[in-house]
Structure 1
Amino acid sequence: MPLDNFSTTFRLGAPPAPVIAFLNDPHSYIGLAPLVVAVRDIRVTGDETRYVSVERFRLGPFHWDNAIDVTIQVAPGRVVNTVRSPGWVRLTATVTLTEAGDGCDGTETIELRAPWFLRAFALRKAREAQTARVAGLTARFPVL
């Protein structure tokens, strides 16, 4: 499967610690990620959190709930989300945060692997999710 890789940068009005704490909570992704409608089966072991995220896809009056396995790993200045979705879609989103004045600078890098028949769709949804996450983070932690 081909690998797609893209990133974006942003500035937040909070130091890295509260942002990392927020991103380490699976419930934070409900609303932060546009497709996520629920999280369940949360298991925390050390610096790793595993859970099932439920993404809802809509097509007119119909919807389909996609249960995906997510692992969050936290390290100083970094949060890594590893996603295993049905259909052999694999995604790793790494948020790196560095102190910058009263806030922090962030970079989110996404690596996506998807089979050819899902690649364009998965790539479009991953980019949309990244844009929404950054907008949600900058709204929650505004630069004053």
Structure 2
Amino acid sequence: MPEKILRNTFTITAPAQAAYDHLTRPENYIGLSPLVVAVEDVQDGSYVAVERFRLLSLKYDNRIRVSLEGTPASSVWGEVNSPGGVHMAYRFDLTPTPEGTRVDDELRLRTPFGLMAFASGQARKVQLARATILADRLAAR
């Protein structure tokens, strides 16, 4: 399976603990990832995220199992398994700075042959949007 690593580093004005608290609650991923419209089947350490894709006038809801782990005020990580054979490991490393918190957002994407361009394009859009959305959400606190 082809693999691609996507990285984004950004700073938020909130403390690392606030970022950790936000990133470890499954319901906060609704809208944090612009594709996620719902969270279902929340269990200890995992949940199902409903991603909504639109193509022309059609919509498709992709249900993905997401694992969620972390080290308080330091990092959040997990894995995503999509029914289409797309697998993604994600990690947020949180580093206190004088301005707030530096967030190192890394995605490791593996896809079946032929899906990498689409999957990595969608993942990158979400990753870049997440930086702005997280900063806005936590600045309001």
* TM-score (normalizing by structure 2): 0.94
1:91 equivalent to 2:88? Answer yes
Match of 1:74 in 2: 70
- Map of 1:129 onto structure 2: 126
SS of 2:5's equivalent in the other structure is: strand
Percent identical residues: 40
Q: Which residue, 54, 62, 66 being the options, matches 2:50?
A: 54
What is the TM-score with the length of structure 1 in the denominator? 0.92
3-state DSSP of counterpart to 1:115: coil
**Deviations, residues 32-87 of structure 1 (Å, cap 9, x unaligned):** 1011010000011xxxx201010011112211110000001111400003100011
Cα pair 2:18 2:138 within 8 Å, conserved: no
The CA deviation at 1:131 is 0.7
How many residues are treated as equivalent by the alignment?
Answer: 139
Task: Name stretches of at least 5 consecutive residues in structure 1 with no aligned partner.
Answer: none
Cα RMSD of the aligned pairs, angstroms, is 1.4
The alignment partner of 1:86 has SS state of: coil
Provide the rounded CA distance (Å) in 1 between the counterparts of 2:99 and 2:5.
Answer: 30
- Write the letter of the residue equivalent to 1:53: A
- Superposed displacement of residue 103, structure 1: 1.1
Q: Deviation of residue 141 (structure 1)?
A: 2.6
Structure 2 matches for 1:1-144, cutoff 5 A? Answer: 1-44=1-44, 49-76=45-72, 77-142=74-139
The DSSP-based 3-state class of the residue aligned with 1:27 is helix
Q: Which portions of structure 1, spanning 4 or more consecutive aligned residues, are displaced by more than 2 angstroms?
A: none
Show structure 2 runs of 5+ residues with no match.
none
